[in-house]
């Protein structure tokens, strides 16, 4: 399994997701469940995409070397 915790882009994406979680907690009820949900989901998706891209890169490197 690919390692991604060391990547600066992963750390930044994770920090952004945590920042949005904290920020959304202070939103009004209406915005928490509309705009807040979108912000939280998008930031989580960014983290998932970094992980996915890193896994794909490792697979490509493995197939080329062997």
The reported pLDDT for the residue numbered 1 is 53
Does the structure show a pLDDT above 80 at 55?
yes
State the pLDDT confidence band at 36, using cuts at 50, 70 and 90.
very high
Q: Could you say which DSSP state residue 27 is in? A: S
Does the structure show a pLDDT above 70 at 66?
no
Which residue's entry shows tokens 């995409």? 49
C-alpha–C-alpha distance, residues 56 and 40, integer Å: 25
State the pLDDT confidence band at 2, using cuts at 50, 70 and 90.
low
The reported pLDDT for the residue numbered 43 is 97
Whether the pTM exceeds 0.85: the reply is no
């Amino acid at each position: 399994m690919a390692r991604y915790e060391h990547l600066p882009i992963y750390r930044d994406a994770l920090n952004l997701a945590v920042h949005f979680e904290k920020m959304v907690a202070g939103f009004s009820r209406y915005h928490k469940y509309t705009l807040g949900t979108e912000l939280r989901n998008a930031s989580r998706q960014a983290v998932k995409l970094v992980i996915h891209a890193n896994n794909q890169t490792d697979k490509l490197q493995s197939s080329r070397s062997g």
